[in-house]
Chains A and B, each alone.
Chain A
């Protein structure tokens, strides 16, 4: 059955249906509907725990504690709050603990504002906290995808024993769309539960730690994590293409920006402009291959972000100097309309077509 829900609430319902029993958070706009929803919903779940912690630091460490005790745990926040959680995320990565972290990005840096933005791309995809680690980052673009990816995020976190981030923004969190959920609650399939601290009676004791004083041991731990990240890069890349077959220019955008770009491309197609789109769904691992494949027949790439250009760097790395990259960014919480974006794309399109002649 379809339900009209905000993105924030949809994540909450999807999390519960995915077997999440523990939520810890601290309020911040524009993601408050998620803890609001879970406060009510988790009370109906056997063993459900909802805690509004006294701070973001406390919340992320509660996630760590619940995770190491074997629970499916999540937290959510928005940009400034996610900054505060970075230490805990680094610890989760080091201790190889599954967790799902939702970031509904808002304008920054600093306190910024409460409007939708995409300025935490670097922080999310480069690890964010200290140390040599990566975080799987998923970028949904609709309320349905928010719900679907929440379930997937929990599974990825379990499979790789690593924190997974859902990177949305204020618009995705606040907007409502029809959404459907699986009719049955999924039971958690934890393949490697041999890390869980569940009491050592009848078995050798276990130790989960991130303090590894011996540099050689720490180095080996780093290479172990690295090999895991390589596996993730091979297996977990996700993207979507739109009208790419006959295109001479490919827009690259994710999340809310991809929705606006889709609207712009639809308009431009009506004017006969051959424009398509690549939408990265996993931001880390980044969809490098599809961009390289596309570069064999398309010269012009148009990156659009609600930032001054962060994913832009990943596109440059993927293209390795081939092709030509156009860029348009609206940072600070500004959401442009499809018409505005279509005018900019159109100008770049015509200029590059002229250059070719």
Chain B
């Protein structure tokens, strides 16, 4: 998800850094990455207080909601996350990404559904350009998956469009 976003931002000629976590991570754990997108040169790829946090599961929600700056926005996969412990000073946007992905017949595109939703709320990159550049972003060998990923991005984007 982070890589796709970073690549899309680069193709829009923005400055971008992508920093993955590469330590020991487990399935259902808190594997994460940090993406910085800017109109100017990025000083540090380490984010002190990110503007947005995206969490796909409960442990990540508990761990990462605390680094968000006050007034920041957190997107959660509400199919798996209970947000009753959310901080009071942040905006929580719930997207049932796992369920939406299952509607497309493949739960593995839940991340792309979330990315579509993230683009809707963040406006960091253009969905149209991402959809257009998707073959280039995902690279060779993923050509069969382009259609499904486009549908997933659209589904997440439109889910929030209909909510507002």
Which A residues form the contact surface with B (CB < 8 A)?
2, 4, 29-30, 114-115, 170-171, 174-178, 259-260, 262-266, 335-340
Contacts and interface: CB of A to CB of B under 8 A. Distances in A.
A259 B45 contact: yes
B20 interface: yes
16 contacts: A4-B10, A175-B18, A175-B19, A175-B45, A176-B3, A176-B6, A177-B18, A178-B10, A259-B43, A259-B46, A263-B48, A265-B43, A336-B46, A338-B48, A339-B48, A339-B49
B17 interface: yes
B17 A175 contact: yes
Interface in B1-56: 3, 6-7, 10, 15-20, 22-23, 43-49
B44 A259 contact: yes
Contacts of A2: 10
Contact of B19 (A174, A178, A262): A174
Given A178-B16, A338-B43, A339-B49, 4 more contacts: A2-B10, A4-B10, A259-B44, A336-B46
A260 B44 contact: yes
A191 to B, nearest CB: 36
B17 A176 contact: yes
Most buried by A among B16, B17, B20, B46: B46
A4 B18 CA distance: 9
B48 A114 contact: no
A4 B7 contact: yes
A176 B19 CA distance: 6
B50 to A, nearest CB: 10
Given A4-B7, A176-B6, A263 B44 contact: yes
Most buried by A among B15, B19, B44, B49: B44
Contacts of B22: 29-30, 114, 170, 174
Contacts of A339: 48-49
A340 B7 CA distance: 29
Contacts of A174: 19-20, 22
